[in-house]
Structure 1
Amino acid sequence: MNIWLNEQAYSPAGSSDLDALIHELSLSQQSVAIAINGEIIPRGQWQQTPLTEGIQVAVFQAIAGG
């Protein structure tokens, strides 16, 4: 399967959902936000959000501020 990850082609090594993708990328769940096709996905839905062919995933580093 091929997806777009931060506007670059990426082939997950077996990740089937967003939660697994974050683990595969060795990212901390607490420090990132994820959008699928331009829509932010709440952290509680990552395990229920499947990766599908050609999906556009944007991973953002969360930054505290105000």
Structure 2
Amino acid sequence: RESTSRRERALAEGDPGAPVLGLPPTGRVARPDDIARLALFFASEQSDHITGQAWSVDGGAVMH
């Protein structure tokens, strides 16, 4: 069994996509409760003035 991670292999091979194979800046992958909190916010009156937006729950991976 190979112990080298996919990211390590990609980095060693010079794959430009290698950085996206790691964890996002928050240091962990999203959990169901991360998504649930956003859904609860949208279901609340606090979000009554938000329309037509796309929200990314990715731990900062898109910005990194």
- TM interval, shorter chain, is under 0.3
TM-score with structure 1 setting the length? 0.23
Q: Which has the higher strand share?
A: 1
Between Structure 1 and Structure 2, whose CA radius of gyration is higher?
Answer: 2
The structure, 1 or 2, with the larger RCO (C-alpha pairs under 8 Å, 6+ apart) is 1
